[in-house]
Amino acid sequence: MEYLHSIQDTIRAICEKHQKNELIQTRIGMRTNGDLHLGNLFPIITAVIIGKELITKGYKYKLIVILVDQEINGDDLPFNYLKYSENETLAEYSINKIRNLISEITFWNNDLIIEYKTVSKSQKTELFRKLLIKILNKSDEIIPIYTPCKKCGELLKKYKRDNAKLIYKCNQCNSDYTLNLEDLNEELMLDHDLLGAIENNLFNIDLHILGADHAFKNKGDDSSLRKREYFRTILTNSSNYITMLTPVIFFNGKKMSKSASNGIFIREIKECFQKKYVNILKKFVIQNSFKKKITINDVLDICK
């Protein structure tokens, strides 16, 4: 698959494939694990800028925002299980942040359609489970699938497989648990890249925007893009959506990270630029979309 990096190259590629008045559907995935930093903002704003340009050119445009509230997250339970406050889970807090920000960025355009989907719901659909079982049947790799123990809540990881049933042993309460993948009520957590590959087959998309950090190799392992391509090949050979990679943004020499609290976050950006922050962010994205890596040392670097 060809991966594009600039906004203009992406718009040009879409216009070459599609006729005016067609509906162009774009997917972005957002992890719901805290406040948004500049690296998270880049794909959101990129998707909106592309949508505005395509609408101007005579296309219809839908932005599908996948809210990743349930995935494998180290040894932690997923974000929709973790409490942020007395009344909100971490996922709920983050989803409100994401929706509010997108509303602020897109208020000017009623022609732009926005649709939100949560992984915790989509993974409980029949199509999702069929695609997951297909990957299990055809993959030559061990597919990590986690689930919480129904008795003690311990995160179960290792399983033995019996067709569509996964059999776990809980070391905490010494009980056995059988997870039936065909039971749509079952809770399961998957690798981020496996989720992305499956989600892209749940509906028709024309453009997928994600961060270029997925192309990085981690500790000698293959990049997550390689994993996505592998799963994508198992699921279908006919899907031909365009993929755009937005830059990886570094803050003081380290990749911006919500979990590590490293980066320039939306609150600081709003405090610095006040009502101008949306226009400044759009200009920053347009000027830098073709890059693979951006280094920021101060919030004021955004408007240079």
pLDDT, tens only, 84-103? 999 999 999 999 999 999 99
Pairing of strands 242-246, 248-251: unpaired
Is pLDDT at 218 greater than 60 in this prediction? no
177 with 200, same domain: the answer is no
- In whole angstroms, give the CA distance from residue 232 to residue 76: 27
Residue 175's domain spans which residues?
Answer: 145-190
Whether 137 is in a domain gets the answer: no
Encoded tokens for 296: 């920021």
Radius of gyration of the chain from Cα atoms? Answer: 20
The average pLDDT across 194-202 equals 90
How many contiguous H segments (helices) and E segments (strands) does the chain have? 9, 15
Return the CATH number at 277: 3.40.50.620
Element spanning 29, H or E: strand 23-31
* Domain co-membership, 274 together with 215: yes
Residue 279 lies in a domain: yes
Question: Do 91 and 229 belong to one domain?
Answer: yes
| Helix H or strand E segment including 207 | strand 207-211
Which amino acid is present at 274?
Answer: Q
Would you say residue 174 lies in a domain? yes
Give the model's confidence band at 222: pLDDT under 50 very low, under 70 low, under 90 confident, else very high. low
Amino acid of residue 218: N
Is the per-residue pLDDT at 213 higher than 60?
yes
Residue 226: predicted pLDDT: 83
